[in-house]
């Protein structure tokens, strides 16, 4: 069971007051500066350095950025900007050392140097330095090459001149500190996605990405900006209108929006502030949604699709929507919620975006009546589906199945009532469900068996989902509702584990469940509550010694040392008895769980649409491309 909070000492005096100097606070509490010390925090280090180079591009000085992953696990970011100043600062050390070792120090506070930037607090480079085993800054400017090396945030020695140069720019190389991060291995796809986003947001800026660990390289350059990004997201989808592009300045704030509708049932919306992906949205996204809903309602009334007093809701306008909203705000005015810059807080931006986007949509609808009608008719279908889903849900509620104590009969609930310490295992089949119920720790582990494959929710409206028995049971068990009544605060379990057989059918069921959670309970994934269990494939026994093996590679290694062992190949969870299932897959001390995360929302959306949607051609291409990589012996 997850550990509950420990009590603290009652002693509290002057000796307990600590003063942290220099970069010590960063190493002591890294999560305050980069969000976490897991993979997300690790990759944030590269983002911080890359964004310094991007800011040079926004200021008009950088045309090329090179990002390299080195074989020794370090990263190198190079640009052709002005180069960080190396002259003596008033504090008594070089300006370079100030930028690399002092929190809240940098040129982002000077609006004459950077009118628009992603930096706000002046902690980016210094935080990366503090959390790196080593960092080397190489500056090209004034015809010279300046170099300074740091060890865990501290300069090894002063700035040195190591050569001559005929160009300008900054090169930053660093190795993440293994004492700080749980894993220091960079993920190519995560970095690639981050670079691609910035290349779309800044047309004309060229990124070169190299992974020397695998000899992989790629170039990113998009003249079309966010309009090209929408086209990329909607690849292989049936679109209902040409991409609507809106751009205007108001109160010294630049607003850009690109909007397109498809025949999909879900939405994908990206928002950016000064090229920073604001994954949690903010006032700019709120303003956009308000404008979109108003514009669609106004046009629907104009063409007679809505009567007086009728209106589409914001949720109706989300179905099939693909949009990118990007604002550029002067550095001195920008207000992020935290250093991770995931949410914009500027209140005035909401009204500015609302006004700009509403005017742009009104103009487009007037000039493109055919596209406009396609859009509003799509929204009208979504509204009818919403009303049908509400009716279906109310019918179920009247039977007492979605509220009160009417938990599904198949659910073996746990005794723990605090969601933070409760787990739900979604198990394939009654046989495995029986073993799981017998083997579990009933104090905090609940079991919900599913019979057979569930509905493919990629192309299903909500009323069909509510009426599907297995999914209805799951919705009731989770307790947070669905659709317009979804309330994440009512989630009954903060660890939800998909536990299926290690065969083709099991993987299909796992994919169907992932599709359901991604499309209809996205907040569960965003909250970090969804996991996939990794049951063993083999059981080896030699005498009284038993070993469990989770993949074929591990089996080959073990066979060379674990002699004369008998082997059992598990083809399903139901082949394990309760004790074996507990020991290998459910016991927190031994089990392996993979947490489901979304680092690339657009990529995830495209994959789900391709694999689970109606279009056959994209799915066929995917299968043909990756068929050789598939393991069919499962």
User: DSSP characters for 124-173?
Assistant: HHHHHHHTEEEEEEEEEETTEEEEEEEETTEESS--EEEEE-SS-EEEEE
**What is the C-alpha to C-alpha distance for residues 320 and 353, in angstroms, rounded to an integer?**
21
**What is the C-alpha to C-alpha distance for residues 582 and 533, in angstroms, rounded to an integer?**
12
Other C-beta atoms closer than 10 Å to the C-beta of 217 total: 11
Burial class (CB in 10 A: 0-12, 13-18, 19+), 253: buried
For residues 473 and 513, the answer to whether their CB atoms sit within 8 Å is: no
In the numeric block, which tokens belong to residue 146? 């300046």
Cα–Cα distance list, 296 to 194, 246, 281 (Å): 32, 16, 21
H/E/C letters for each residue in 545-577? EEEEECCHHHHHHHHCCCCCCEEEECCCHHHCC
Q: At which residue do the structure tokens 């969870």 appear?
A: 573
**What is the C-alpha to C-alpha distance for residues 278 and 280, in angstroms, rounded to an integer?**
5
**What is the C-alpha to C-alpha distance for residues 497 and 596, in angstroms, rounded to an integer?**
10
Cα–Cα distance list, 19 to 16, 23, 34, 49 (Å): 10, 12, 21, 28
Active site residues: 428, 501, 503, 505
Q: At which residue do the structure tokens 């706000």 appear?
A: 120
* CA proximity to 476, closest of 408, 557, 577, 390: 408
For residues 518 and 608, the answer to whether their CB atoms sit within 8 Å is: yes
Helix (H, G, I), strand (E, B), or coil: what is residue 198?
helix
In the numeric block, which tokens belong to residue 171? 């090169």
Q: At which residue do the structure tokens 């947490």 appear?
A: 595
């Amino acid at each position: 069971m997850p550990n509950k909070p420990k009590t603290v000492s009652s002693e509290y005096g002057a000796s307990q007051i600590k003063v942290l100097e220099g970069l010590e606070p960063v190493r002591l509490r890294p999560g305050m500066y980069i969000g976490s010390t897991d993979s997300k925090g690790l990759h944030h280090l590269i983002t911080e350095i890359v964004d310094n180079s991007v800011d040079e591009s926004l200021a008009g000085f950088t045309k090329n950025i090179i990002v390299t992953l080195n074989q020794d696990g370090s990263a190198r970011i190079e640009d052709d900007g002005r180069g960080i100043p190396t002259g003596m600062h008033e504090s008594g050390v070089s300006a370079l050392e100030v930028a690399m070792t002092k929190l809240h120090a940098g040129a982002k506070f000077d609006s004459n140097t950077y009118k628009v930037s992603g930096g706000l607090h002046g902690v980016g480079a210094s935080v990366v330095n503090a959390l790196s085993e080593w960092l080397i800054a190489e500056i090209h400017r004034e015809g010279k090459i300046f170099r300074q090396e740091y060890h865990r945030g501290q300069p090894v020695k002063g700035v040195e001149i190591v050569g001559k140069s005929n160009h300008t720019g900054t090169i930053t190389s660093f190795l993440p500190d293994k004492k700080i991060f749980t894993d220091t291995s960079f993920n190519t796809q995560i970095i690639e996605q981050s670079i691609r986003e910035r290349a779309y947001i800044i047309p004309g800026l060229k990124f070169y990405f190299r992974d020397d660990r695998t000899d992989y390289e790629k170039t990113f350059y998009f003249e079309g900006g966010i309009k090209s990004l929408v086209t990329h997201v909607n690849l292989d989808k049936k679109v209902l209108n040409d991409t609507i592009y809106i751009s205007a300045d108001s109160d010294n704030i630049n607003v850009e929006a690109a909007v397109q509708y498809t025949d999909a049932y879900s939405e994908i919306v990206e928002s950016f502030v000064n090229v920073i992906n604001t994954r949690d949205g903010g006032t700019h996204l709120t303003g956009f949604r308000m404008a979109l809903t108003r514009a669609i309602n106004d046009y629907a009334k104009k063409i007679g699709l809505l009567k007086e007093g009728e209106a589409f809701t914001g949720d109706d306008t989300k179905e099939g929507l693909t949009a990118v909203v990007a604002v550029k705000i002067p550095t001195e005015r920008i207000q992020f919620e935290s250093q991770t810059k995931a949410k914009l807080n500027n209140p005035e931006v909401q009204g500015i975006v609302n006004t700009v986007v509403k005017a742009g949509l009104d103009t487009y609808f007037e000039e493109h009546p055919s596209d406009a009608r396609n859009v509003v008719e799509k929204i009208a279908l979504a509204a009818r589906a919403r009303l049908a889903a509400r009716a279906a849900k109310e019918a179920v509620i009247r039977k007492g199945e979605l509220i009160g104590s009417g938990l599904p009969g198949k659910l073996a609930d746990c005794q723990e009532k605090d969601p933070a310490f409760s787990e739900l295992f979604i198990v394939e089949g009654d046989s495995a469900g029986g073993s799981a119920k017998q083997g579990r720790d009933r104090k905090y582990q609940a079991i919900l068996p599913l019979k057979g494959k569930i509905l493919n929710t990629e192309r299903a409206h909500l009323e069909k989902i509510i009426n599907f028995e297995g999914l209805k049971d799951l919705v009731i068990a989770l307790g947070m509702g669905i659709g317009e009544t979804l309330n994440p605060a009512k989630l009954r379990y903060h660890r939800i584990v998909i536990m299926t057989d290690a065969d083709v059918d099991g993987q299909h069921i796992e994919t169907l469940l992932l599709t359901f959670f991604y499309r209809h309970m996205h907040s569960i994934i965003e909250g970090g509550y969804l996991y996939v269990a990794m049951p063993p494939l083999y059981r080896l026994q030699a005498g009284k010694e038993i070993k469990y093996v989770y993949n074929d590679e591990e089996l080959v290694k073990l066979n060379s040392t674990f002699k004369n062992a008998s082997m059992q190949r598990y083809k399903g969870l139901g082949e394990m008895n309760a004790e074996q299932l507990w020991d290998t897959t459910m016991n927190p001390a031994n089990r392996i769980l993979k947490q489901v995360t979304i680092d690339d929302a657009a990529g995830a959306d495209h994959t789900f649409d391709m694999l689970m949607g109606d279009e056959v051609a994209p799915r066929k291409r995917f299968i043909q491309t990756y068929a050789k990589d598939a393991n069919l012996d499962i």
